[in-house]
């Protein structure tokens, strides 16, 4: 059961917000959807977009400017929130931006008090697609993309579920979270001290282990203030080179970590996914 919160027409399609009761996250969740005009006549493929730290389902839909190209191509966009929300959902005691609410890191938490609600991996991979495909005119042809923390989530989910996603892309992803401060904080909190469990949520480590990947596009701005300490794209580039998978990692001089960067290259990413979705 999904309840419509709002609807706005855009580029001949519909930008919609829904809410539903999530059995995976044990709370009420909201998500945004763009349905292109083609969805009025037939079911269309879907690109799932995972947002970064502090974001909700509304950041991408209002800032990225993706609807025009999605409408042209006939691709739906499914945009979930970044963490569970609501009364009783725990937050970082220090209210830091990089843990707790708005910072689910797309893992299945095993440590309390997080394990009751913070199962964003299962929510994105299992519950949300089943819900969307039951209630909306979208097919089971799926791509996945994201930014920063969401880029990390997209890469991990695509690598671990290669029959589920036809393609994957990411903007400024956290490429090697077991080796950066954001990842250390999130994984130790959600997953505990067993670092072997962390490897299941690390795109660089997964690629080196699996040695196969869906078609992949990664874009990184060279003026990103998180580049060296948190994002570590060189580690992913080395894994791509070692494994020889079909992947492109592009570097863009002068671009930072903001939605201006995403808006500049979202058309390229949508057309990349269209090769595999349409």
- Rounded Cα distance between 100 and 94, Å, is 10
CA angle, corner 223, sides to 219 and 224, nearest 5?
65
What are the phi and psi torsion angles at 16 (to 5°)?
-130, 145
What are the phi and psi torsion angles at 70 (to 5°)?
-60, -35
257 is catalytic: yes
Q: Which residues, at least 6 apart from 78, have a Cβ–Cβ distance to it below 8 Å?
A: 31, 32, 33, 46, 47, 48, 49, 128, 129, 132, 138
224 is catalytic: yes
- Rounded Cα distance between 206 and 199, Å, is 7
Q: Which residues, at least 6 apart from 212, have a Cβ–Cβ distance to it below 8 Å?
A: 162, 243, 245
- Rounded Cα distance between 6 and 133, Å, is 19
23 is catalytic: no
- Rounded Cα distance between 100 and 35, Å, is 30
- Catalytic hit among 224, 235, 269, 273: 224
- Catalytic hit among 119, 147, 176, 257: 257
Active-site positions? 148, 224, 257
């Amino acid at each position: 059961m999904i309840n419509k919160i709002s609807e706005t027409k855009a580029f001949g399609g519909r930008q919609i917000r829904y809410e539903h009761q999530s059995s995976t996250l044990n709370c009420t969740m909201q998500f945004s959807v763009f349905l292109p005009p083609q969805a009025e006549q037939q079911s269309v493929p879907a690109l799932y977009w995972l947002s970064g730290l502090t974001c909700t389902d509304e950041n991408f839909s209002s800032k990225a400017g993706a609807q025009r190209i999605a409408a042209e191509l006939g691709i739906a966009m499914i945009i979930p929130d970044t963490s569970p929300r609501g009364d009783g959902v725990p937050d970082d005691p220090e209210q830091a931006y990089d843990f707790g609410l708005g910072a689910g890191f797309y893992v299945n938490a095993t440590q309390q008090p997080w394990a009751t609600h913070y199962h964003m991996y299962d929510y994105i991979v299992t519950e949300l697609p089943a819900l969307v495909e039951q209630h909306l005119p979208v097919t089971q042809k799926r791509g996945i993309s994201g930014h920063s923390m969401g880029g990390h989530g997209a890469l991990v989910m695509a690598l671990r579920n290669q029959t589920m996603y036809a393609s994957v892309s990411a903007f400024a992803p956290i490429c090697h979270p077991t080796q950066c401060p954001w990842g250390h904080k999130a994984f130790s909190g959600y997953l505990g001290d067993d670092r072997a469990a962390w490897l299941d949520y690390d795109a660089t480590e997964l690629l080196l282990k699996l040695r196969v990947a869906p078609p992949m596009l990664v874009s990184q701005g060279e003026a990103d203030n998180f580049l060296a300490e948190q994002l570590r794209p060189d580690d992913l580039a080395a894994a791509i080179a070692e494994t020889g998978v079909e992947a492109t990692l592009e570097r863009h001089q002068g671009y930072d970590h903001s939605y201006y960067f995403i808006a500049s290259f979202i058309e390229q990413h949508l057309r990349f996914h269209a090769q595999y979705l349409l």
